[in-house]
């Protein structure tokens, strides 16, 4: 029997395994003179004047993105978070930690690949060390022995790799369930998913039910570890703040 290509068959499942992650921080707006007239099109003004303001983000699909933000908030509240609460209720803390460590160790593959692509020798060596130590001494990653030994994680992804080589953000986007992104990072997510699928360390390709369980458990674990809750900021400008924080976070991650 012929099988569908791995990439096509997995994309819907893989998309469920990534979740929203925000950097809580803020940036101050530069002062403007009293005589300066505010621009009705801040993005165009930035391009024209070659000035960068922290809150200005290229968002040409804002209407769609705001609708998707509301959809994600509803999905998170009525589907995702109840499922996460049930997961936390039935799973002991020690098991939850081991599950997180296991997934982190598996996805070190993406960290290693992108560290190599970005020509980062320190990150490459340390990530290789983490994989070796946690896979062996850490019992296939159930225990994060490497961190206790001072071998720390280098979080790298293909979106950062593209940014490292000068690829711009592109339009800001709110992806279904996954949350804030942009055109470059969405492409990066696909690249990382293809890398993991090509290696297939758990031989998921021939075990459909195991593959679904793997990605659903990964999604639950990741959402459990994220403190962010939609509309808990108390700000009427939460969409703008989220957009700005995500964009600034990615700038910092690419620059490091």
- In angstroms, the CA 251 to CA 253 distance is 6
150 versus 41: the higher-pLDDT residue is 150
Task: Examine residue 67 and state whether it is found in any structural domain, yes or no.
Answer: yes
Total structural domains in the chain?
1
**What does the pLDDT look like over 12-27, one tens digit per residue?**
444 444 433 333 333 3
Share of the chain above pLDDT 90, in %: 72
Domain that holds residue 232: 55-255
Query: Which helix (H) or strand (E) is 155 found in, with range?
Result: none
Q: What is the mean pLDDT of residues 29-51?
A: 40
54-68, 141-155, 233-247: which has the minimum mean pLDDT?
54-68
| CB proximity list for 227: less than 8 A, separation 6 or greater | none
pLDDT of 41 over the 90 cut: no
Task: Examine residue 17 and state whether it is found in any structural domain, yes or no.
Answer: no
Task: Examine residue 33 and state whether it is found in any structural domain, yes or no.
Answer: no
- In angstroms, the CA 118 to CA 116 distance is 5
What is the pLDDT at residue 55?
A: 62
Q: How confident is the model at residue 97 (pLDDT cuts 50, 70, 90)?
A: very high
Neighbours of 32 (CB within 10 A): 10
Q: How confident is the model at residue 125 (pLDDT cuts 50, 70, 90)?
A: very high
pLDDT of 28 over the 50 cut: no
Task: Examine residue 48 and state whether it is found in any structural domain, yes or no.
Answer: no
Per-residue burial over 81-100, b = 16 or more CB atoms within 10 Å of its CB, e = otherwise: eeebeebeeebeeeebebbb
Task: Examine residue 2 and state whether it is found in any structural domain, yes or no.
Answer: no
Task: Examine residue 9 and state whether it is found in any structural domain, yes or no.
Answer: no
Phi then psi for 193, rounded to 5 degrees?
-65, -40
**How buried is 2 (Cβ within 10 angstroms: 0-12 exposed, 13-18 middle, 19+ buried)?**
exposed
Task: Examine residue 7 and state whether it is found in any structural domain, yes or no.
Answer: no
Task: Examine residue 144 and state whether it is found in any structural domain, yes or no.
Answer: yes
């Amino acid at each position: 029997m012929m099988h569908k290509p791995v990439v096509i068959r997995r994309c819907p499942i893989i998309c469920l395994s990534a979740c929203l992650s925000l950097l809580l921080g803020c940036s101050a707006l530069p002062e403007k003179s009293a005589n300066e007239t505010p621009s009705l099109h801040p993005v165009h003004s930035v391009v024209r004047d070659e000035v960068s303001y922290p809150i200005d983000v290229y968002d040409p699909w804002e209407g769609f993105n705001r609708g998707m933000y509301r959809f994600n908030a509803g999905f998170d509240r009525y589907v995702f978070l109840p499922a996460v609460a049930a997961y936390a209720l039935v799973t002991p803390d020690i098991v939850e930690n081991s599950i997180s460590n296991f997934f982190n160790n598996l996805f070190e593959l993406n960290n290693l690949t992108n560290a190599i692509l970005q020509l980062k020798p320190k990150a490459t060596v340390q990530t290789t060390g983490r994989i070796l130590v946690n896979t062996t001494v850490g019992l296939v990653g159930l225990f994060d022995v490497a961190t206790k030994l001072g071998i720390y994680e280098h979080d790298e992804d293909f979106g950062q790799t593209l940014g490292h080589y000068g690829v711009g953000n592109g339009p800001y986007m709110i992806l279904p369930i996954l949350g804030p992104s942009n055109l470059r990072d969405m492409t990066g997510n696909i690249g990382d998913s293809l890398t993991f699928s090509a290696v297939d360390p758990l031989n998921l390709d021939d075990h459909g039910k195991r593959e679904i369980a793997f990605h659903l458990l990964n999604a639950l674990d990741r959402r459990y570890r994220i403190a962010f809750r939609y509309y808990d900021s108390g700000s009427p400008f939460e969409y703008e703040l989220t957009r700005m924080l995500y964009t600034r976070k990615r700038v910092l991650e690419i620059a490091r």
